[in-house]
Amino acid sequence: MNIRGLWDVLRRRWGQVLAATVVGLLAGGVHAWTAPVTYRSTAGAFFSLVSGSSASDLVQGSTYAQNQVESFAQLAVTPEVLQPVVDRLDLSESAVGLARRVEVTVPTGTVIVEVTVTDASAERSATLADAVITSLSAVVERIAPQDEAGDATVRATTVTPAEVPTRPASPDVLLALLAGLFGGVLAGTGLAWLREALDTRVRDAAVVSELTALPVLGNVPAWPARSGRVVVSSAPHSQAAESFRQLRTNLQFLRVAGGDGAGPRDGASVLVVTSALSGEGKSTVSANLASSLAETGARVLLVDADLRRPTVADVLGIEGGVGLTTVLAGQADLDDVVQEWGAAGLAVLPSGPVPPNPAELLSSPAMRSLLAEMRARYDHVVVDTAPVLPVADASVLSRIVDGLVVVANVRRVRRRQLSQGLGDLAQVSAPVLGVVLNQVRRDDESYSYGPVGDGTAPARGSVRVSPRPGSAVAGRHPVG
């Protein structure tokens, strides 16, 4: 993962990183608050050889002391040294217990032994350090070799008496907080990476590009329920409404909704809107796309061809008891069931009664004849149909329309499902034009108010329809 990829992960999952960081800080604070307060005090002794008076003897004595000083340090934590300290100070712990709180060091190249004692009391830590260094000096002088007169050949001199510490050695509040902060950020970042790796949702255009060569035609953000489902009409100046106008513009540049007769068939451009799964918002996208097309003054017909779970009538708040199936059954003419909706004069053909054989109706000669009539009377026909994976309705319609748009809800559809849906359409050579991402995060919204393909560099986050090699539109309807 490159730096940009890492930044995208952190931007999408900053809440998790922040939560883990707060938890880490709290853990560091709790540790600093609850950890026992301890003090450390250090005393040091210098060891030297006292036998001999010549320069050669002194050099040999110094070498001997340096060779033995490590042994003296090991001796400091033995019961031979610590038990007299326990007895003299009347401690409640044993020599072994005291040894756990004693740390002995020998500065490099010296014959000095430093003894550091940790204790809950500042005064007692200094007392213990002095007592241990005194006992060590006595033991070393007693067990060291003696000269001919019976005197000790090693002398220990206390050079650094222990001082009472003024500040506790632990807990270090700042260090605990920094450790908690670092650990929280590290854990949060790791958790974000892990969840990103396990997340199979189609989050953005980058994921779509990994699955298919088809372009992303638009990014539709979620909007408040109070704005209604046809946001192009109810909130025309909102960002969501502008995203549908951008989708309309991108489709016009693909010459699907251009209304200039340049499509694969004469007359109106017939566009099918579908999705891989149900509940991805395809009917809402269809209604808003049709409404945005009607804003241009064109004659637009919105058809609810989802004959299994029709929702266009509910989205627009119109009567759906008669409609497409009524016309296909020969019980009414197109004029009898088409309803006008909105100030722009959008024509709507609801689904009508749900039939027992939807796929057969959509592939019937009556449907072909009806589509031909729609082409002759309207500039644009937007057809909402059933999702691809559960049923074959979209594949059936793909044979008699100009193009399909697949809606992918970034909060619902998974990569495998979208890939399988696009694969099913590819098997029947469906003219899929691209993908529309629905309910994208607001900070991921993509808008481009300038003309597509004008030769300028796109603004950051803008949508450019750029058919990829192998896509349904590559080479047939170039952009720009």
Stretch among 38-42, 147-151, 318-322 having the lowest mean pLDDT: 147-151
Q: Do 281 and 400 lie in a common domain?
A: yes
Average pLDDT over residues 21-36: 89
User: Does residue 400 share a domain with residue 379?
Assistant: yes
Name residues whose C-beta falls within 8 Å of residue 340's C-beta, 6 or more positions apart in sequence.
Answer: 346, 347, 348
pLDDT at res. 62? 59
Look up the CATH number of the domain holding residue 434: 3.40.50.300
Q: 147 or 385: which carries more pLDDT confidence? A: 385
In a shared domain, residues 296 and 434 = yes
Residue 27 pLDDT class (50, 70, 90 cuts): very high
Confidence of residue 5 (pLDDT cuts 50, 70, 90): low
- pLDDT per position as a tens digit, 116-136: 999 999 999 999 999 999 999
Q: How far apart are CA 73 and CA 421, in angstroms?
A: 75
Q: Is residue 468 in a domain?
A: no
Asked if residue 171 has a cis previous peptide bond (ω within 30° of 0), the answer is: yes
- Is residue 390's pLDDT more than 60? yes
Q: Let me know if residue 463 belongs to a domain.
A: no
Cβ atoms within 10 Å, residue 25:
19
For residue 385, being part of any structural domain is answered with yes
Quick one: what percent of the chain has pLDDT higher than 70?
83
Q: Which residue has the higher pLDDT, 228 or 471?
A: 228
Q: How confident is the model at residue 435 (pLDDT cuts 50, 70, 90)?
A: very high
Is 50 exceeded by the pLDDT of residue 452? no
Please count the structural domains in the chain.
Answer: 3
Instruction: Give per-residue pLDDT as tens, 295-312.
Output: 999 999 999 999 999 999
> At 71, which CATH number?
3.30.70.1130
Look at residue 344 and tell me whether its pLDDT is greater than 80: yes
Q: In this predicted structure, what is the pLDDT of residue 146?
A: 72
Q: Which range (73-87, 168-182, 229-243, 386-400) has the least confidence?
A: 168-182
Higher pLDDT, 399 or 447: 399
- Are residue 333 and residue 191 in the same domain, yes or no? no
CB atoms within 10 A of CB 34: 8
Q: Are residues 247 and 289 in the same domain?
A: yes
Residues 31 and 44 in one domain: no
Average pLDDT over residues 142-168: 83
Q: What is the pLDDT of residue 63?
A: 62
Q: What is the pLDDT of residues 206-220, one digit of tens each?
A: 889 889 999 999 999
Tens digit of pLDDT for each residue in 95-119?
A: 999 999 999 999 988 889 999 999 9
Tokens of 134: 């005194």
Q: In terms of domains, do 79 and 177 share one?
A: no
In a domain, 480, yes or no: no
Q: Within this chain, do residues 177 and 54 fall inside the same structural domain, yes or no?
A: no
Residue given tokens 């790796």 in the structure block: 197
Q: What percent of the chain has pLDDT over 90?
A: 60
Do 255 and 373 reside in the same domain of the chain? yes
- Is residue 454 assigned to a domain? no
Task: Give 210: exposed, middle or buried? Use CB within 10 Å, 0-12, 13-18, 19+.
Answer: exposed
Is residue 248 pLDDT above 80, yes or no?
yes
Residue 469 lies in a domain: no
What is the per-residue pLDDT for 253? 83
For residue 188, name the pLDDT band (cuts at 50, 70, 90): confident
Name which residue leads in pLDDT, 116 or 35. Answer: 116
Whether residue 466 is contained in a domain is answered as no
Residue 78 and residue 14 in one domain: no
Write down the pLDDT at residue 71.
Answer: 87
pLDDT at 266: 44
Same domain, 291 and 371: yes
Domain membership of residue 73 as a residue range: 39-160
Residue 460 lies in a domain: no
List all residues 6 or more positions away from 180 whose beta carbon is below 8 Å from its beta carbon: 24, 25, 26, 27, 28, 29, 31
Per-residue pLDDT at 129:
94
Look over the chain and give the mean of its residue pLDDT values, rounded to a whole number.
83
Which residues 6+ apart lie within 8 Å of 56 measured at CB? none
How many Å apart are CA 429 and CA 477, to the nearest integer? 17
Q: Are residues 26 and 140 in the same domain?
A: no
- Which residue did the predictor score with more confidence, 477 or 98? 98
